[in-house]
Structure 1
Amino acid sequence: MPSGANSECAICGKTSRETRPLKLKRCSGCRTRIYCDIDCQRVDWPSHKVTCKKKWHDKHRKCDDQSLHEGRLELITWTLPGLDVGWANVYLNEVDDLKHKFEVEFGGDEEKFFEYWPQGFRWTCCGLDGAITYGCDHHGTGKKPCTCDFCRMGQPLPDSIYKEVDPARHGLELPRGPDPRSFHAGHAALASQMRPLFGLP
């Protein structure tokens, strides 16, 4: 899903928990409006079609591994307790300068600011920051299989990753995986050998 714990159908208000085992669906045009089924989408279309359009971040959806982000790019505007980073994912002592640059030099234009500072944004489908281009770690919520190492190994995310406090994942209701469509014996063997060599969990 592209959104957090309060994801619900735009018409009837059903949440992802209420629609299980079926998943909430996104509008294929703007990728932000959410529905529980086609009937609710049809009811909403007469009013939604006025605002439904491609978003500036659509051209950034494609990842280096050919997967696609299905969420949206969102400017990080929060500070988490215990972390030394805040607005736009920068150190607290740099926030005022960068915010001033965003407002004055870029006129508050998020698209232009993204080109300058992609790590200040996060993808709502996977909680990866905008500077990471290697894939969408959605762990089973995307249209196509997740391409992360853990899903390919058939393993859920370890606590060290899943429970890590991270500005880009804050507030998102992300699954732990694994995506049952992703397991690949060859990738699993390679990842299990290579990750420890690079000090990865």
Structure 2
Amino acid sequence: MDQAENDTSPSTPTAAEMLTRLRAVDTGIFDIKSLADQLKGKHAWIFVLTMPVSAIFLVTVTLLGTFLTGYFVASFLVAALLLFIVGKMLDQFEKRFFYQARITVMQRIQETEGDYGLIPHFKDFLPAKYRHLWQSLRKGRYQYIDQYIAAITLLQHKLEDDKFTRIWEIRHPELASDEDEDEV
């Protein structure tokens, strides 16, 4: 029933339009790490200075604690515990950037797929390991970012345009070119 609705849809793109959409996808916009670095923006200095400041803090608090209490090991453990707590707080702060970057990339995948979809229409040209990807995309779930990038890259490099065009025209006979009808 779903297939029949898609076949009669007046907005069904041609095979050439689908191939153009596929070729136009830039997988660089789906890189979570670079997007997280961009989102850090003016806060990036915090993560750059973490190690040097931590080392200076550890030495300073340990020496100060040793002079005040006379216990080197206890001073070191207190300083290390404080650094551990601050490190966990910084880690949570950094994870927020990665979480926001992941959400942004999922929105970009949703925009790339659009209302009509992209990857599910190329499912015949993808290995079976991408089955969960195109099924989840069809349902509006975009969490498989790495697999999406791999599928787009695979299709952009390995897809044979002629084979896709033939299969597309078989599935959507109303879009078959006039040249094909003249040959038959």
TM-score under structure 2 length normalisation: 0.21
Higher helix proportion, which one? 2
Higher strand share: 1
TM-score, structure 1 normalization: 0.20
